[in-house]
Chain A
Amino acid sequence: MADRDPSPSLRSGPDARGHFGAFGGRYVAETLMPLLLDLEAAYREAKADPAFRAELDHLLAHYVGRPSPLYFAEKLTRHLGGAKVYLKRDELNHTGAHKINNCLGQILLARRMGKTRIIAETGAGQHGVATATVAARFGLPCVIYMGARDMARQAPNVFRMRLLGAEVRAVESGSRTLKDAMNEALRDWVTNVADTFYIIGTAAGPHPYPELVRDFQSVIGEEAKAQMLAAEGRLPDLCVAAVGGGSNAIGLFHPFLDDPVELVGVEAAGHGLDSGEHAASIAGGRPGVLHGNKTFLLQDEDGQIRDAHSISAGLDYPGIGPEHAWLHAIGRVRYESVTDAEALDAFALLARVEGIIPALEPAHALAHVAKVAPAMAADRILLMNLCGRGDKDIFTAAEALGVRL
C-alpha cells in the first residue's frame, strides 16, 4: 500500500483534507462544503480549549458514569480455557452503550457553534437514544431518522427516544435501515443548513466526522490502557471490538495503534459471507464513495450500494469508517467476521457464564473471542470492548431463538 506517512505514528491521521491514505475525504454536495469547513474550524478551536475538555470530562464522569470498569471475566476465561479475557464495560454507561461518549462531545460542539436544532440517524436506536438524551439534557429540539425496518425490530428504543422528547421519523426509502436513515439525515441537513447540527453516530461520513467521533470515543481505549496497566502491569496482547461503522472499535484501538498489541475488528457476516446476506464491508466489499467518504462498501459491479444484512441493527450498514479501511489496507488491524448464529450463541454464553446480557453488536466481538481465546496460552491477555448491553435486543434474540414473549 502506497500510504507513506512521514510520521512514525499511526495516530496522526487524517491529513489536512481528511484523508486516511486513499480513504476518507469530503464527498458531499457543494451546499454542505462550507458547513463542513466551519465544523472543522470549530472542532480545532474546541480541541485547543481546555474549558471544552473540562466540561466534557465533567459530564463523562457525572452524567455518563465514566470511567467504565475494566472487568476480568474470570468465569468466561475459565469456560474458554485459554487467554485471560477482560471486558471493557462500556455497556454500563448511561443509555447503555458507547454512543453517548460521542454524542456529548458533539452536542457541546453544536452549542459552541450556536446551532439550535439537532438531527441524527440511528440503526439499533442506541445512537438515537444517546442523541435524544443529550438533546434533552441541553434543551435542544431533536429529530431522529430511523429506517422503518429498524423501528420494527428496535421498538423499545423508539419508545425511549420519544420519551426523551425526540421526534422519530420513519425512513421508508431503500432498504429502510441505517444507510437510508443516513441519506435522509443528510437531506435534512442540506435543507436546514443555518440552524441544524448533524450528530453522526459512527466514525464515518465526511471529514471531520470520522476524526472527531474517533477522538470522542478514544476515551474507551485510553481508560482501558491505564486500567490494564494498573491491573496487569502490561498491555493486552489482543484487543477485539465489533465493527458497524466502527466507532467503538476505533475508540478502543486508536490509543493502542503505536503499541505492540494485536487488533481485531469483527464485522457482521449475517447469514454467512457466501450467502450474499451480510454486513462485512471489508471481507465482502470494495472501495467506493458513499455518505461523504471513500471506504470499503458493499456494492454491485455497477457501483450501486447493496443492502447489508445482520441480526444486529447496529452492524447492518454497507460501509465502514475510512480509518478502518486504511488500517486494513496497511495491515495494522485485522478484520474478521462472525455470523448471526455465532453472535446469538455468544449472546447466550455471556448471559449464562458472567451474568451479563450483551448487545448483539458486541456479541459479535465475543463470538470471535470465543473462537480464539481457547488457543491462546493462559498468560496471554485479551481485551474486548463490551460496548453495549442487550436489553434492547431481547425481542430480536427471543424471536431468533424461537421463544415467544
Chain B
Amino acid sequence: MSSAGGAGGDRLARTFAAVAPRAALVTFVCGGDPAPELTPAILDALVAGGADIIELGMPFSDPMADGPSIQAGNLRALGAGVTIAKLIAIVAGFRRRNADTPIVLMGYVNPVLAHGVERFARDAAAAGVDGVILVDLPPEEADEVAPALAAHGLHLIRLATPTTDDRRLPAVLESASGFLYHVAVAGITGANSAAEAEIAAAVARLKAATRLPVAVGFGVRTPAQAAMVAAHADAVVVGSAIVDLVGAAAARGSNDVPGEVAAFVATLAEAVRGAPRRLAA
C-alpha cells in the first residue's frame, strides 16, 4: 500500500506511539446524530473530553451488526438527512481545526458503493480521513474497495472476533492495516460484555500474531469497563454508551449535547489514563 494517512502522514501510527504505554481511547458516534449541524461540535467535544481516535459512523438503513442503540442513532441521523458526502465535508472542516486526531469512518458497504468507491476514497483521503471500517466487507469480498482505499492512503481496518479461530486468523491479518479491531463478544453492538480473562487472552493471542496495535470494543460502556480493557489492549473502543447519551440528550431537548458528550468522554479518558498497564510489551 502507498504511504498510509495521505497528506497527514500516518496519524494512527503517530497517535498510538504518542499515547504509549497507555491505551488509546477510541470513541464512536453516529455521523449526523442527532443532526448533521451538531456533528462538528460533537467531534470537537470528543477531543475535548480526551478521545485519542474518533470512529465516525456512516449511517445505514439496515445496520444488521448493530444493537438497538446504534440502530436508533442511525435512524436519527438518516432522518436528519445525513449522507456520506456531508460527513466527508464535516471531516474536512474538523481537519482545519485539528490536524492530529485520527478519524476512522465506520459503516456498511452499500452506501459506499452507492457513493462510488473511487470518489469515496479520493474525497475521504482529501478531507483527512485516516481509515475505514466496513462491517460487512470481509477480506474475501474486499477486492472492489480495498485497492482504491490503499491507493489513497486509507487504512482498511480489519475485525477479529471470538469466532476468528486459528484457521481464520491469517485471512483476517493478511490485509489488516492501521490497527486490528478485536470484537470482544460474538454479537451485536451494545449488548453483552466480555470477561477480563477472555479479553486478556484474546489480546495476547492477537499480539502474538500481528505487530499492529490491537483495539478492543463491543460491550465497553462504563469508565470501569474502559479501565479494565485499557489494562490489556492498545486501544479501548466505546460506542453505544455515547450514542445512547446523544439520543437521550436530544430527546430531552438538551441545548448542550456536545457539552454532555465531552463530560462523559472525560470520565472514560480519566479511567483509561489511570488504568494499570498489564499488557506485555
Name A's B-contacting residues (CB within 8 A). Answer: 17, 25-35, 37, 173-174, 179-180, 182-183, 186-187, 190-191, 193, 286, 288-292, 297, 299, 301-305
Contacting pair B62 A30 (CB below 8 A): no
24 CB < 8 A contacts A-B? A27-B109, A27-B137, A29-B64, A30-B164, A31-B183, A32-B163, A33-B163, A34-B165, A34-B168, A35-B163, A183-B64, A190-B186, A191-B187, A191-B192, A193-B162, A288-B114, A297-B110, A299-B110, A299-B114, A301-B114, A302-B111, A302-B115, A303-B114, A305-B110
A32 to B183, CA, bound (A): 12
Distance, CA A304 to CA B108, complexed state (A): 10
Q: How far is the CB of A207 from chain B (nearest CB, A)?
A: 9
CB distance from B167 to the nearest CB of A (A): 8
B71, CB-defined interface residue at 8 Å: yes
B111 neighbours in A (Cβ, 8 Å): 302-304
The reply to whether A303 and B112 contact each other, CB–CB distance below 8 Å, is: yes
- Known: A34-B163, A34-B168. Contact between A303 and B183, CB under 8 A? no
B67 interface hit (Cβ, 8 Å): yes
Chain A residues with CB under 8 A of B64: 29, 182-183, 186-187, 291
Contact partner of A31 among B113, B161, B192, CB < 8 A? B161
Given A190-B186, A190-B188, A191-B188: A26 and B138 interface contact (C-beta under 8 Å): yes
Chain A residue at minimum C-beta to C-beta distance from B86:
A302
A29 to B139, CA, bound (A): 11
Question: Which residue of chain B has the shortest Cβ distance to A300 in the bound complex?
Answer: B114
For residue A187, which residues in chain B have a CB less than 8 angstroms away from its CB?
Answer: 64-65, 67, 187-188
Q: In the complex, which residues of chain B have a beta carbon less than 8 angstroms from the beta carbon of A173?
A: 71
Q: Judge whether A191 and B191 touch: CB under 8 Å.
A: yes
* Residue B84 lies at the interface, judged by CB distance under 8 Å to chain A: yes
A190: chain B residues at CB < 8 Å are 65, 186-188
- CB pair B188–A33 under 8 Å, yes or no, is no
**In the bound complex, how far is the Cα of B83 from the Cα of A169, in angstroms?**
32
Instruction: Specify which chain A residues have a CB less than 8 angstroms from the CB of B158 in the assembled complex.
Output: 30
**Neighbour of A305 across the interface among B61, B168, B172, B188, CB < 8 A:** B61
Sorting the interface of chain B by its residue count into under 10, 10 to 19, 20 to 34 or 35 or more gives 35 or more
Report how far A27 CA is from B163 CA in the complex, Å.
16
Interface residue? B136 (CB, 8 A)? yes
Q: Which residues of B contact A182 (CB under 8 A)?
A: 64
Please give me the residue from chain B that is nearest to A19 by CB atom: B141
Query: Does B160 lie within 8 Å of A30, measured CB to CB?
Result: yes
**In the complex, chain B residues 141-162 whose Cβ is within 8 Å of any chain A Cβ:** 141, 158-162
Residues of B within 8 A of A32 (CB): 163
Minimum CB–CB distance from B11 to chain A (whole Å) comes to: 24
Decide yes or no: A302 and B83 within 8 Å by CB, A191-B191, A290-B110, A291-B64 being known contacts. yes
Are B164 and A289 in contact (CB-based, < 8 A)?
A: no
Judge whether A289 and B165 touch: CB under 8 Å. no
Check if B110 sits within 8 Å of A288, measured CB to CB: yes
User: Which residues of chain A come closer than 8 Å to B108, judged between CB atoms?
Assistant: 289
Instruction: Output the residue of B84, B111, B114, B164 with the most chain A CB within 10 A.
Output: B114
Looking across the interface, which residue of chain B has its beta carbon closest to that of A193? B186
Determine chain B's interface SS by DSSP, over half rule: loop
Which residue of B71, B84, B136, B188 is within 8 Å of A289 (Cβ)? B136
Which residue in chain B gives the minimum CB-CB distance to A304? B61
B194 surroundings in chain A (CB, below 8 A): none
Contact A34 to B65, CB < 8 A, known contacts A27-B136, A27-B141, A191-B188 = no
Q: Nearest Cβ in chain A — how far from B112, in angstroms?
A: 7
Q: Which residues of B contact A301 (CB under 8 A)?
A: 114
Which residues on the B side are within 8 Å of A292 (C-beta)? 136
Nearest 10 CB-CB pairs, A to B?
A303-B114, A303-B111, A191-B187, A31-B161, A304-B61, A29-B65, A183-B64, A30-B159, A303-B110, A305-B61
Across-interface contacts of B168 in A (CB, < 8 A): 33-34, 37
Which B residues contact A (CB, under 8 angstroms)?
Answer: 60-65, 67, 71, 78, 83-84, 108-115, 135-138, 140-141, 158-165, 167-168, 172, 183, 186-188, 191-192
Residues on the B chain within 8 Å of A303, using CB: 60, 110-115
Answer whether A289 and B183 are a contact pair too, CB < 8 Å, given A27-B138, A33-B168, A305-B61: no
Question: How far is A187 from B71 in the complex, measured between Cα atoms in Å?
Answer: 12
Cα-based distance from A304 to B135 in the complex (angstroms): 16
Residue of B nearest to A302 (CB): B83
A305 to B67, CA, bound (A): 18
Judging by beta carbons under 8 Å apart, are A28 and B113 in contact? Answer: no
Which of B83, B108, B115, B188 has the most chain A CB within a 10 Å cutoff?
B188
A174 to B159, CA, bound (A): 26
State in angstroms the CA–CA spacing of A183 and B71 once bound together. Answer: 11
Bound complex: CA A290 to CA B63 (Å): 10
Complex CA gap A180/B137 in Å reads 20
Known contacts A303-B111, A303-B113; 11 additional CB pairs below 8 A are A30-B183, A31-B186, A31-B187, A34-B167, A34-B168, A174-B61, A187-B67, A190-B186, A191-B188, A289-B109, A304-B60
> Given the complex of chains A and B, what is the CA–CA distance between A12 and B109 in angstroms?
28
* Contact assessment for B62 and A183 in the assembled complex, using a CB-CB cutoff below 8 Å: yes
Point out the residues of chain A lying under 8 angstroms from B62, CB to CB. 174, 179-180, 183, 290-291, 305
Assembly CA distance A290 to B65 (angstroms): 12
Q: Do residues A289 and B113 form an inter-chain contact, with CB atoms below 8 A?
A: yes
Asked if B61 and A30 sit within 8 Å, CB to CB, the answer is no
How far apart are A92's CB and chain B's nearest CB, in angstroms? Answer: 36
Contacts of B61 in A (CB 8 A): 174, 304-305
A288 to B158, CA, bound (A): 21
A26 lies within 8 A of B60 (CB): no
- Find the A residue at minimum CB distance from B183: A31
B209 to chain A, nearest CB (A): 15
Which residue of A has the minimal Cβ distance to B67? A187
Tell me the minimal C-beta distance from B115 to chain A in angstroms. 7
Residue of B nearest to A173 (CB): B71
Task: Chain A residues near B67: list those with CB within 8 A.
Answer: 187
CA distance in complex: A222, B71 (Å): 43
A315–chain B nearest beta-carbon distance, Å: 18
Among A33, A173, A302: residue with most chain B CB under 10 A: A302
A288 touches B113 (CB 8 A): yes
Pick the contact of A302: B63, B84, B187 (CB < 8 A).
B84
Task: For the complex formed, measure the closest distance between the CB of B195 and the CB atoms of chain A, giving whole angstroms.
Answer: 16
